[in-house]
Amino acid sequence: MGQGRIAERVRLLFASAVGTIIEWYDFFIFATCAVLVFDKAFFPTEDPLVGVVLSLSTFAIGFVARPLGGLVFGALGDRIGRKNALVVSLLLMGAATFCMGLLPTYASVGGLAPVLLVALRILQGIAVGGEATGALLIVAESMPGKRRGFWTSFPMIGGPAANVLAAATVALITARLGEAAFVDWAWRLPFLFSIVLVALGLWMRSRIEESPVFAELAAKRREVPPAPLAETFRGFWRPMGQVFLVKAAENTLFYLFTTFFLVLVVKFIGLARGVGVDALFWGSILEVVVIMAAAYASDVIGRRPVMLLGLAGGIGASVLLFTLPPGAAPETVLHVTLLTLTCHGIIVGSMSAFFTELFPTRVRYTAMSVSYQVASVVGGSVAPLIGTLLLGWTGTPQAVAIYAGLMAVPGIICVLLSRETRGTDLAAVEAAEPAPVGLPQRSR
* Residue 431 confidence (pLDDT): 45
Task: Please answer whether residues 126 and 226 qualify as being in contact, where contact means their C-beta atoms are separated by less than 8 angstroms.
Answer: no
Cβ-based neighbour number of residue 1 at 10 Å? 8
Task: Please answer whether residues 317 and 343 qualify as being in contact, where contact means their C-beta atoms are separated by less than 8 angstroms.
Answer: yes
Helix (H) / strand (E) containing 342: helix 330-356
Is residue 68 classed exposed, middle or buried when 0-12, 13-18 and 19+ CB atoms within 10 A define those classes?
Answer: middle
Q: Closest Cα partner for 70 from 375, 374, 369?
A: 369
* Residue 444 confidence (pLDDT): 32
* Residue 433 confidence (pLDDT): 44
Task: Please answer whether residues 17 and 156 qualify as being in contact, where contact means their C-beta atoms are separated by less than 8 angstroms.
Answer: no
Question: What own/partner pairs with CB < 8 Å and gap ≥ 24 does 322-330 have?
Answer: 322/264, 322/397, 322/398, 322/400, 322/401, 322/404, 323/397, 323/398, 323/401, 324/264, 324/269, 324/397, 325/269, 326/268, 326/269, 326/270, 327/269, 327/270, 328/269, 328/271, 330/271, 330/275, 330/278, 330/279
The CATH architecture of the domain made up of 8-206+228-431 is Up-down Bundle (1.20)
Q: Closest Cα partner for 72 from 111, 130, 26, 31?
A: 130
- Between CA 351 and CA 356 the distance in angstroms is 9
- Between CA 98 and CA 90 the distance in angstroms is 12
- Between CA 341 and CA 339 the distance in angstroms is 6
* Residue 89 confidence (pLDDT): 87
Cβ-based neighbour number of residue 95 at 10 Å? 16
Cβ neighbors of 431 (< 8 A, separation 6 or more) are none
In this structure, which amino acid lies at residue 194?
S
- Between CA 427 and CA 436 the distance in angstroms is 20
* Residue 324 confidence (pLDDT): 96
Residue 359, phi then psi, degrees to nearest 5? -130, 150
pLDDT tens over the chain, length 444 residues? 556 677 777 888 888 887 788 777 877 788 778 777 888 889 887 567 777 778 778 877 877 888 888 888 888 887 788 888 888 888 898 899 899 999 999 999 988 999 999 999 999 889 888 777 888 888 888 888 889 999 999 988 887 888 788 878 888 898 899 888 998 999 999 999 888 888 888 888 888 888 887 877 777 655 555 555 777 788 889 999 999 999 999 999 999 998 899 889 998 999 987 899 889 889 999 999 999 999 999 999 999 999 999 999 999 999 999 999 999 999 999 999 999 999 999 999 999 899 999 988 878 888 888 898 899 889 887 898 899 999 999 999 999 999 999 999 999 999 999 999 998 877 666 544 444 333 344 433
Helix (H) / strand (E) containing 8: helix 3-36
* Residue 233 confidence (pLDDT): 81
